[in-house]
């Protein structure tokens, strides 16, 4: 049994797609266990940027099986477009891509409601792709799963109930009869597309484990966007943490071997919400431009700040992370001084553990320690000991602050631009 979870330790956008792409070569199965097409993984494929939103990046390897598990919410139009893009690149998904029969489907009314809530309620910074409302329907027990969608009588009954339930919020925005006609008009196309992919993915994973296959579980977003352990309410609608694999993929907790956390050498976040280390100066601008910090899904510019060890230490604990990869170290080049947030300060109190209080999250000030910048280039270095000494010291200091070993160092966007600190590490 060899199972590995790859997840983000900050607010997402840490470079998980590249990491999964890098590790997929060792895996037999790659499983996405939560989120929807509100996430985007940017990879360098055939020397060009390539974005996947729903399908695991392991699909780029012809001998890998990729699963979209029950914890994911699926926009069929978006999924079909992604499959078509892959087909144009001669990447065959038939017989390798499987979607859980229990995964919930996103419909046009979810996107409409998402926009209404964003405009009229608390501004979260949602992607307006219907993710939250689809998860809300799941919790309210009126959601439509893939298996329900493929049984037309069941689907039509659920659709009618959903439109009645949502009439109060929808009727002032659009004609509900026209919306129903649109959804039913798309049924033949999308059901025919979906049917070959639907499977009992929980059983598939169990069977793969029994055969000692290597399974990589891929998270979207990051720990600080987790519904329970993130900066609530400015979070996503699912659980990107390691514990989310159990409910999101149908796997028992004793069958998880290890967790690899992905962390950026500095910190970014997209959307609204507290961000203690956010920079509004030329350093923040430097990170944004050097790191090309623009959302893969939305194109929005990311908020940037120094490395926040309070956040990553929280993630290490919540996810039981023993090993980390640090990404975008090359984007720290040319800085004379580097700051690290080691604690928060609020009303003369020091917080080394991430606070749950909305007030403290919003108004706390970062407590920084300072280190000298890197004397020399890190881009293109292939051995840890060949990194500038100050870069090595920075990495070792971060290890001490967050309580986990940094075993991989990413120095660029390409798959091969990774240093294995301990050399030839087996991840499964």
CB 262 within 8 A of CB 240: no
Distance in angstroms (rounded) separating the CA atoms of residues 71 and 54: 12
Check residue 63 and give left, alpha or beta (phi > 0: left; psi -120 to 50: alpha).
alpha
**Catalytic residue (choose from 13, 75, 308, 330):** 13
Distance in angstroms (rounded) separating the CA atoms of residues 37 and 297: 8
**Nearest by Cα to 270 from 299, 237, 242:** 299
Sorted by sequence, the CB contacts under 8 Å of residue 116 that are 6+ apart come out as: 169, 173
Distance in angstroms (rounded) separating the CA atoms of residues 285 and 302: 10
**Catalytic annotation present for 175:** no
**Catalytic annotation present for 41:** yes
Half-sphere exposure for 215 (CA within 13 Å, toward CB): 27
Q: Which helix (H) or strand (E) holds 44?
A: strand 41-45
For strands 365-372 and 337-346, give the pairing.
antiparallel
Q: Looking at residue 356, what DSSP letter applies?
A: -
- The alpha carbon torsion through 162, 163, 167, 171 (nearest 10 deg) reads 150
Distance in angstroms (rounded) separating the CA atoms of residues 315 and 141: 31
Cα-only R_g, the chain:
22
**Catalytic residue (choose from 28, 41, 226, 330):** 41
Q: Report helix, strand or coil for 256.
A: coil
CB atoms within 10 A of CB 108: 15
Secondary structure of the chain: what % helix, strand, coil (to 5)? Answer: 40, 25, 40
Catalytic residues: 13, 41
């Amino acid at each position: 049994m060899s199972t590995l979870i790859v997840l983000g330790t900050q607010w997402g956008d840490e470079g998980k797609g590249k990491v999964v792409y890098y590790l997929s070569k060792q895996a037999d199965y790659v499983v996405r266990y939560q989120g929807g097409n509100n996430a985007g993984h940017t990879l360098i494929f055939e020397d060009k940027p390539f974005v996947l939103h729903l399908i695991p990046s392991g699909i780029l390897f012809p001998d890998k099986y990729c699963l979209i598990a029950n914890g994911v919410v699926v926009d069929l139009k978006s999924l079909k477009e992604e499959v078509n893009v892959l087909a144009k690149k001669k990447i065959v998904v038939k017989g390798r891509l499987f979607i859980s029969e229990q995964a919930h489907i996103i419909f046009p009314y979810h996107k409409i409601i998402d926009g209404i809530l964003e405009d009229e309620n608390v501004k979260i910074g949602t992607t307006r792709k219907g993710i939250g409302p689809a998860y809300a329907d799941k919790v309210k027990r009126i959601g439509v799963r893939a298996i329900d969608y493929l049984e037309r009588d069941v689907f039509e009954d659920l659709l009618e109930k959903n439109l009645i339930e949502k009439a109060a919020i929808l009727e002032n925005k659009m004609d509900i009869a026209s919306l129903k006609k649109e959804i039913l008009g798309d049924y033949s196309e999308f059901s025919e597309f979906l049917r070959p992919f639907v499977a009992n993915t929980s059983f598939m994973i169990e069977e793969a484990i029994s055969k000692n296959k290597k399974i990589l579980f891929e998270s979207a977003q990051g720990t600080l966007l987790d519904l329970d352990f993130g900066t609530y309410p400015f979070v996503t609608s699912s659980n990107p943490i390691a514990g989310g694999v159990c409910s999101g993929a149908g796997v028992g907790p004793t069958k998880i071997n290890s967790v690899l956390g992905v962390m950026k050498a500095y910190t970014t976040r997209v959307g609204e919400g507290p961000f203690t280390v956010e920079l509004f100066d030329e350093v923040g601008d430097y990170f944004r431009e050097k790191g090309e910090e623009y959302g893969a899904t939305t194109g929005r510019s990311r908020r940037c700040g120094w490395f926040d060890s309070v956040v990553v230490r929280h993630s290490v604990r919540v996810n039981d992370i023993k090993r980390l990869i640090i990404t975008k170290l090359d984007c720290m080049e040319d800085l004379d001084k580097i700051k690290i947030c080691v604690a928060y300060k609020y009303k003369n109190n020091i917080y080394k553990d991430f606070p749950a209080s909305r007030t403290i999250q919003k108004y706390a000030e970062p407590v920084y320690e300072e280190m000298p910048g890197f004397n020399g280039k890190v881009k293109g270095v292939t051995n840890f000991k060949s990194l500038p000494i100050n870069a090595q010291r920075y990495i070792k200091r971060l290890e001490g602050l967050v309580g986990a070993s940094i075993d991989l160092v990413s120095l660029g966007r390409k798959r091969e631009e990774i240093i294995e600190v301990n050399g030839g590490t087996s991840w499964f």
